[in-house]
Amino acid sequence: MSKEIHREIHVDEALTRKMADLARLELSDVEVVTFTSQLEHILGYFEKLQEVKVEGVDPLISPIELETPFREDRMIPSLVDSEGKPKVLQSAPDTLDNGYKVPPIL
């Protein structure tokens, strides 16, 4: 591992912004510049993977081999608090009539 060949892939600011949009992240102009150059550097490292022979190799998604675990079709009542309000709503930042409140969805 003594020599790492970092071939630079061209990643530009437009790409960084596009990824930020897809991920619903807000980046400052400074962040866009910093991230773009860091991404370039790191992605160059990943180019290394292109040299591995992978034809016919089955991708490994999970490191555990199991028979498909199933659940029986049994209804479990939702937990409510002492006032009968669904427990899971306790962490809701903003609700109205037990619905989660969000900006208007057009």
Partner 1 sequence: MHSEFEAVIGLEVHCQLSTQSKIFCGCSTRLYGLSAENEMMTDVSVNTNTCPVCAGHPGTLPVLNKKVVEYAIRAGLATHSTIQLKNVFARKNYFYPDLPKGYQISQYDQPICQNGWLIIDTQNGPKKIRIDRIHMEEDAGKNVHVSGFSLVNLNRAGVPLIEIVSAPDMRTPEEAGAYLRALYAIVTYLGICDGNLQEGNFRCDANVSVMPKGSTQLGTRAEIKNVNSFRFIEKAIEYEISRQIEVVKSGKKVVQETRMYDSSRNVTLSMRSKEEAHDYRYFPDPDLIPVKVDPAWIQEIQGTLPELPEQKKNRYMSELALSAEDAGVVTNSKRMATFFERTVAELVQAGADQRAVAKPAANWITGEVARLCNEENIDIDQVRISPKHIADIVLLTRNQVISSTGAKQAIAVAWKTGTPIEEIIEKEGLKQVSDLSALEPILQKVIADFPAQVAEFKAGKEKVLGFLVGQIMKQTGGKANPSLLQDLLKKKLI
Partner 2 sequence: MFNKIREIHDAFDRKTLSSEELTHSYLSAIRSSQHNAYLTVCEEEALAQARAADLRIAKEGKVPRTTAPLLGIPLGIKDIFTIDGIRTTCASKMLDQYVPPYTATCVSRLESAGAVILGKTNMDEFAMGGSNENSAYGPVKHPTHSERVPGGSSGGSGTAVGAHLCVAALGTDTGGSIRLPASYCGIIGIKPTYGRVSRYGLVAFASSLDQAGPMTHSVEDAAILLDVMSGHDPLDSTSSFQPVTRCFEATQQQPNWSRLRIGVPKEYMIGGLAPDVESSIQASLKWFESQGAKLVPISLPHTQYSVAVYYIIAVSEASSNLARFDGVRFGTRPSHFQNDLLSFYKKVRSGFGPEVKRRIILGTFSLSAGYAEAYYQRACQVRRLIRQDFEQAFRDVDFIAGAVSPTTAFKLGEKSSDPLQMYLNDIFTIPANLAGLPAMSVPCGKDREGLPIGLHLIAPWFAEENLVGVASAFEKARG
| Residue 72 near partner 1 by CB under 8 A | yes
> Closest distance between partner 2 and the C-beta of residue 81, in Å?
10
Q: What phi and psi values does residue 97 have, to the nearest 5 degrees?
A: 50, 40
Residue 10 binding: pick among partner 2, partner 1, none (C-beta 5-8 Å cut-off by kind)? none
Distance from C-alpha of 8 to C-alpha of 47, rounded to nearest angstrom: 8
| Residue 90 near partner 1 by CB under 8 A | no
Candidate residues 66, 82, 83, 93; the one interacting with partner 1 per rule CB under 8 A: 66
| Residue 62 near partner 1 by CB under 8 A | yes
The dihedral of CA 77, 83, 85, 91: what is its sign?
A: negative
Taking a C-beta distance cutoff of 8 angstroms, is the pair 39, 11 a contact? yes
